[in-house]
Structure 1
């Protein structure tokens, strides 16, 4: 018999109506760096080191945000772009008569400002540049004799060309343009996920870096189920919904997101539909999807703890400068009800907070939130590891009770650990012996049940005036 310890997660038992978690996870994203093995990003790395490891790319940005908010160990799988990024129109504010152009294919979305600091021709004048719209700049450098300069690690080169009559570049000349990020194909993402099937890395979840949509989410639903049942590796996915397009109204955008969500019903899929203007750890101010923040917070929260817990996980307004698109606050409740992950402010609080760590689970699911899934996955991993130790063990048919009790005690160890760590309230392991014929079946049916920790999702305060002198 080709035996194994098989896993099934049962849902619907709670009757719902409509120690610190490691947070170790995988990020799959666009990078110009090639690596045959996942690249480890530790929580002690600064932004410069992270960019050295995975380039000035969307993958690096997601790691920078996650590290800043608590991720201790992140493994990166770089993926080549399926669709190249684009360079937008160059806007010029200048007094000089020289020309300026851009070449190459961008590695990320940038808001680039090139500013002339000292007037002159090529090999005389100097310039500096910014990748975040002028919030931070490089050191000043001389315009090369060829006029061609690399914008380091961006995939782009700029070209200064002298005017025939001189006066090519004047102090204060500015050239600004934006780029879009390259994109991964769904096939490349799925291949990267499948590369984890036999990976020795122990991880909780996979963050798909960059915008994705229903077609990929549906494929990831199938993969999540396969990872649990076929490969015995419980995980969940964190994905990023797109932002509002320039030609959309807010209402049209939200309705499009609600339509995108239809048909996705899986407790192992989480989609962050939240964007902000954000100051990164390296000082850059950019418009981002907030999934990097969310994945970082999981590194600080124990498995049963909601990352929406107000007293524990404030997101500073000095970092999140404002939510995007403008006016989205009026629609956060709608997006939350549709089970997207959003970030909000509470009246009376200055900081921002995760509204709820929603999963795209079906109505009535016992696993509506990430904290539910994280607890379940921890138990699945730990109990299965103990069960593997008992695989092929001898069972004495003449003293069945003793043999079964020994197995049961071993499997109950990780359940007791979870109780001690306050991950669950209580739990137990039960082995069905009523109809057991061990000599013929050579199989045990084992049921693990537990009572999760509760959470206060809402409070109802009632205030009333009391007259101590009123007649009783």
Structure 2
């Protein structure tokens, strides 16, 4: 016989708590000059970014994230190994001969022109090369029989399509290494720049007092002349460090006239997709973000790899999307060429869990510098700031602070890029600020998940429902003949509805409603329980049409007369 006493029991799982929300939690990976590759840094608005991570693209974008990410940002940063930056512009062909492309790795600075001198097939035809934009040409030589013309000291090769080459045809493209060519405005000795680039910059060195070393003075800018540092004397050894970029300017002995100006660009180091995936391996085992933002220019090969990683995370019950950056225009490439190249890059790729930001411009950071950058950091901050159902470009949330669009950027360019699936920047007539366009994913045109807010709402609902459904795993089903009211099924359904209720009752609403169904014509014993959930989303106003007519007061068509 049982002992007579009072026995205590805890009944768990009835409080209504709904865990699992990771909205606004970002894992940001990029190149920086300090920090441990693959290590997670848990950052806040007061974190010493320079002390922890040094300088570089990752630090630049983190400045943007914290400027726009709201008051409750959760930012996890992961350094990744970087490779020297550089660009090869799209090759342009003038003439009627076969097309060509530029291949290789940027290893120097050159504005390449290959001009066909004698017509004929490769091996017979001849061409002459210029590496200074046509100012000078080398001696004409035979085009190799394989149709590949190597351009010395640039790391690039012109690869010709099959066919006979035509005399007078020109093939033109530009190559830029990590340290761009120095342009001198005015008189004075030619300066040089060398070093290992740690951060991108638009360098301007201006002479503010004429003279030789240890006499003349200069001022230095790393943001294209928007902001200059203090006046300094040209050092005795002529060595001028360019801020924290890792590059040093060498000024040879000679007279530097007042007003002489030297300009050159530094291209930031970039990560390879292999390095990115390697750096993310351990962090993605230990942290669970809403999205991963990869800093640095990317292409369709990179997007495909990130899409595969997103699929793997989905299969591990951790729905996560990736935000990438598109490249900026290369040297010698105007905005029209850039838009065409991006549209071509998009062809043949689609993934609903990948978004690519191609918006760029001069962006001010918290230090006051204004540099030409991709706006991905501002985008990541915006995603973190707004609720999951909100369009990032909602006008009443005001425009993007501290960015100016590139000169020549038109509505047609924005429309074409957005139609291709990219996230863009836009302006509206009558408003002065810059705004985000539609938050697109790279999903195919048949997908329901072409918009980022749809994906965010769905991912949040899936995460919440999974944890609630786990409460019913291994539970007694009950008697199926009692229908959906059977104890086990009723408990499962109640928990799923409780999860979605948190989104319906959120302020502001994240869902308009939902419908949860458990079909009863299932083989529960052999197949388990299948539920069907319909998420009822909140529409976004994308277009407003204003129809106006004019009538005379007191006339037949005055709507007041009908009253």
TM-score w.r.t. the length of structure 2 is 0.71
Query: Do the aligned partners of 1:82 and 1:183 also contact (CA within 8 Å) in 2?
Result: yes
Specify whether residues 133 and 249 from structure 1 end up closer, same or farther in structure 2 by C-alpha distance, changes over 3 A only.
Answer: closer
| Residue 177 (structure 1) aligns with | 264
Question: Which residue matches 1:341?
Answer: 423
1:220 aligns with 2:306: yes
Unaligned runs of 5+ in 2: 1-20, 87-177
Provide Cα deviations, 1:128-168, integer angstroms capped at 9, x if missing partner: 422112222334455555443433431112334445xxxx5
Greater CA drift, 402-411 or 103-112 = 402-411
How many Å separate the matches in 1 of 2:391 and 2:447? Answer: 17
Any residues of structure 2 matched to 1:305-320 within 5 Å, and which? Answer: 305-316=390-401, 319-320=402-403
Determine the structure 2 residue equivalent to 1:60: 59
Deviation readout 1:180-202 (Å, 9 max, x if unpaired): 12221121122234434312x23
Q: CA deviation at 1:205?
A: 1.1
Per the alignment, do residues 105 and 325 of structure 1 end up closer, same or farther by CA in structure 2, a change over 3 Å counting?
farther
Which residue pairs with 2:194 in the alignment?
A: 103
Partner in structure 1 of residue 239 of structure 2: 148
Structure 1 residues 392-451: Cα deviation after superposition (integer angstroms, max 9, x where no partner): 34545699811221222223222110111110011243334433444x55x322232220
Per the alignment, residue 434 of structure 1 pairs with 521
TM-score by length of structure 1 reads 0.83
Counterpart in the other structure of 2:413: 331
In the superposition, relative to structure 1, how do residues 234 and 324 fare at CA in structure 2: closer, same or farther (>3 Å)?
A: same
Aligned partners of 2:334 and 2:39: how far apart in 1? 43
What does 1:23-422 align with in structure 2 at a 5 Å threshold?
Answer: 23-35=24-36, 36-44=38-46, 49-70=48-69, 72-84=73-85, 86-92=178-184, 100-116=191-207, 127-141=218-232, 143-144=234-235, 146-163=237-254, 174-199=261-286, 201-229=287-315, 231-316=316-401, 319-321=402-404, 323-324=405-406, 326-396=408-478, 401-421=486-506, 422=509
Shift of 1:368: 1.8
**Residue deviations 1:89-113, cap 9 Å, x none?**
223457766x743221111221112
Distance 1:96-1:314 versus aligned 2 partners, 3 A rule: closer
Are the structure 2 counterparts of residues 428 and 44 from structure 1 closer, same or farther at C-alpha, using a change threshold of 3 Å?
A: farther
Deviations 1:30-83 (A, max 9, x none): 2122325222332455xxx33333222111111112221225222221111133
Distance across 2 between alignment mates of 1:33 and 1:389 = 44
The SS at the match of 1:277 is strand
2: CA distance, partners of 1:124 / 1:249:
41
Q: Structure 1: which 5+ residue stretches go unaligned?
A: 1-19
Task: Give the number of aligned pairs.
Answer: 438
CA 1:470–1:212 in structure 2 vs 1: closer, same or farther (change >3 Å)?
Answer: same
Backbone CA RMSD of aligned residues? 2.9
| Stretch of structure 1 that moved more, 273-282 or 73-82 | 273-282
Contact 1:43 1:70 in 2 (8 A): no
Find the aligned partners of 1:33 and 1:60 in 2 and give their Cα distance.
10
CA distance in 1, matches of 2:534, 2:246: 53
Q: 2-side partners of 1:74 and 1:251: how far apart?
A: 35
Q: Distance in 2 between matches of 1:347 and 1:339?
A: 23
Q: Is the 2:23–2:384 contact (alpha carbons within 8 Å) kept by the matching residues of 1?
A: yes
Higher relative contact order (CA 8 A, sep 6+): 1
Give 1:391 shift: 3.1
Structure 1 residues 394 and 148: alpha-carbon distance in aligned structure 2, compared to 1, 3 A threshold: farther
CA contact (8 A) 2:475 2:488 kept: no
Residues 312-332 of structure 1: per-residue CA shift (max 9 Å, x gap): 14124xx223x2252433321
Kindly name which structure, 1 or 2, has the bigger radius of gyration based on alpha carbons.
2
